[in-house]
Structure 1
């Protein structure tokens, strides 16, 4: 392992001094391997149990049954679990996470960063018997709901033109629900989420379940899965992400502050580094 860490560090320094995007990414990878998160309970089996609170902070409490509480109580694999790619192989980089969510990774390769968060939201609504609320825009802007799909309507896609026709029998089964999600994974992403969802304009308004997003092709998106507040007004956040290639959803380390990791302190509009990625501008959207 030492030789890999040294290699990452050397690669990071070499590329960083050339000022390239790859250099920044390599530097973050190297930093992440060196960060040993302080606020970790290795015995914790949920996100809120795994991530301990810094002194003076209180975890934000949400009503039972809320999406926020659902995320805080999301089950994690045992500490030390690896991030696994959709093909069953270990992800090359294992130095950026403190927990892996108990969320299967389909072997079709479709469940990438935005898709993983769409799935989490959709499964929550399904479990809450709020199935009529499940629906997302395609990148083209056309809305596709689970109810519509379950009733047998399928998109007919011609470039950016989309029409829906009833071409299948009604099927409201769970198996068909996951076929619907695969369709959403194919035609939705960070661009459609950013265009469709309301923005969160201030850190004081950011809640668990909100998503820090860069809309692009490719873009990236991560989700707030825990939040803590101090009596002096400071707010800290825990993030989880899916990624490309499609892989286990995992709770992130903070490569910027080893004394705070895995908690993040953020500012809207500022630059932020996470393991394997950086956001030039912090901006959030929220599921409806």
Structure 2
């Protein structure tokens, strides 16, 4: 993780996304957030020296690929990996904002659908929610997640969008958690992911451009992240 603030856009002591990462020169954050985007951008971060851990307590082997860790409880089973982590964030948002009916809607795409409100039976504690999250993610896959998404142009990218790639063997997704643009409308963004096995959701560095890392340039073509290669055409938005 980058700790040298003299040459970095990263403030190691800050524990909010929008405070931890400066924008490069000539770029400013776009304040026109959706409710989901605003929630994402205000998520708390763990202390700077906190490592990414898998569900079974193992430290992620390549610490140089991330620059921050979201301060969210991780399920104690191997369920929050790859694209599933995007659903973790989506459900967490609906839980935190008490939009329980929206979680019920998401349950319809599950391979074993049980509405959240039926599952918890009036117990809206976080402990019960985590039990439901595990159940939901156990019965979610890339095919069901794809049903919730629609393609969006890279020119229209916004916080909360995801780059989603569904394969026959492996699938992956990363989420846009911050966004900025210059006076000409050129956009840059920051990404978060989980990988395999299930692990803490973390903020990615940019392996292709140290000068603006962790920001990525929004452009047509290939998007190279530390552990996956996406295309701009993989950009999706929740319906």
Q: TM-score, normalised by structure 1?
A: 0.73
Tell me the number of residue pairs that the alignment of Structure 1 and Structure 2 aligns.
232
Matched, 1:74 2:43: yes
- Point out the structure with max Rg over C-alpha: 1
Q: Does 1:51 align with 2:31?
A: no
1:103-122 matched pairs, under 5 angstroms: 103-122=72-91
Q: Find the counterpart in structure 2 of residue 149 from structure 1.
A: 119
Match of 1:28 in 2: none
Structure 1 residues 119-134: aligned runs within 5 Å? 119-134=88-103
Gaps of 5+ in 1: 1-31, 151-169
For the pair 1:259 / 2:211, whether they are aligned, the reply is: yes
Report if aligned partners of 2:154, 2:235 keep a CA contact under 8 Å in 1. no
Q: 8 Å contact 1:191–1:219 — kept in the other structure?
A: no
1:188 aligns with 2:137: no
Deviations 1:10-45 (A, max 9, x none): xxxxxxxxxxxxxxxxxxxxxx99xx9831111221
* CA drift at 1:149: 3.5
**Counterparts in 2 of 1:1-288, with a 5 A limit?**
38-62=8-32, 66-134=35-103, 135-136=106-107, 138=109, 144-150=114-120, 170-174=121-125, 175-200=127-152, 202-216=153-167, 217-268=169-220, 270-280=221-231, 282-288=233-239
Q: Distance in 1 between matches of 2:44 and 2:226?
A: 22
Whole-Å separation in 2 of the counterparts to 1:38 and 1:136: 42
Residues 84 and 141 of structure 2 are in contact (CA less than 8 Å); yes or no, is this contact kept in structure 1? Answer: yes
